[in-house]
Amino acid sequence: MTSLDPTLFEKARSALNYSYSPYSRFPVSCCIKTTTGKYYTGVNIENAAYPLSLCSEAVAISHMVKEGEKKISEIFIIGLGEALCTPCGACRQRIREFADDDTLIHIGDDKGHRATFTLGELLPHSFGPHNLEQSHD
> Least distance (Å) from ligand THU to the CB of residue 94?
9
Closest CA to 14 of 43, 35, 36: 43
Do 59 and 45 form a contact (C-beta atoms < 8 A)?
Answer: yes
Catalytic residue among 46, 57, 67, 133: 57
> Least distance (Å) from ligand THU to the CB of residue 91?
4
Measured from the CB atom, is 57 or 74 closer to ligand THU?
57
Annotation says 57 is catalytic: yes
Measured from the CB atom, is 46 or 74 closer to ligand THU?
46
Contacts of 73 (CB under 8 A, 6+ apart): 33, 34, 35, 103, 104
Measured from the CB atom, is 26 or 36 closer to ligand THU?
26
Closest CA to 64 of 99, 116, 23, 114: 99
**Catalytic machinery residues:** 57
